[in-house]
């Protein structure tokens, strides 16, 4: 069974994430968290009701990115 969110989290853990942003109207379908990756698919949208699953992951990723600069 394909798990959209588990696959995305695995990609983040593997270091494929290069950035993210919150957008108000993604492809005319409403608010989304957009995750950007270095490998295809390059962009993955996350719906607001799933944001809570990514808060800690993205905070840790951001801390790691700031440390590397």
CA 39 – CA 8 distance, rounded (Å) = 12
Domain of residue 22: give its range.
4-68
The mean of the pLDDT values for the chain is 93
Name the H helices within 1-69.
Answer: 4-13, 55-68
| Mean pLDDT of all residues in 1-29 | 93
- This model's pTM is above 0.85: yes
Cβ atoms 54, 36 nearer than 8 A? no
Query: What value does the mean pLDDT take over residues 5-14?
Result: 96
Give first-to-last CA distance, the chain, whole Å.
38
State the total domains in the chain: 1
Tokens of 33: 């968290």
Position 65 pLDDT exceeds 70: yes
- Residue 53, pLDDT > 70, answer yes
Q: What is the DSSP letter of 38?
A: S
Give the SS3 label for residue 3.
Answer: coil
């Amino acid at each position: 069974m394909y798990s959209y969110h588990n696959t995305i989290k695995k990609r983040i853990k593997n270091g494929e994430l290069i950035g993210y942003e919150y957008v108000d109207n993604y492809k005319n379908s409403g608010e989304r968290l957009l995750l950007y990756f270095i490998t295809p698919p390059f962009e993955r949208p996350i719906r607001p009701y799933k944001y809570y699953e990514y808060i800690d992951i993205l905070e840790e990723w951001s801390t790691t990115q700031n440390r590397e600069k």
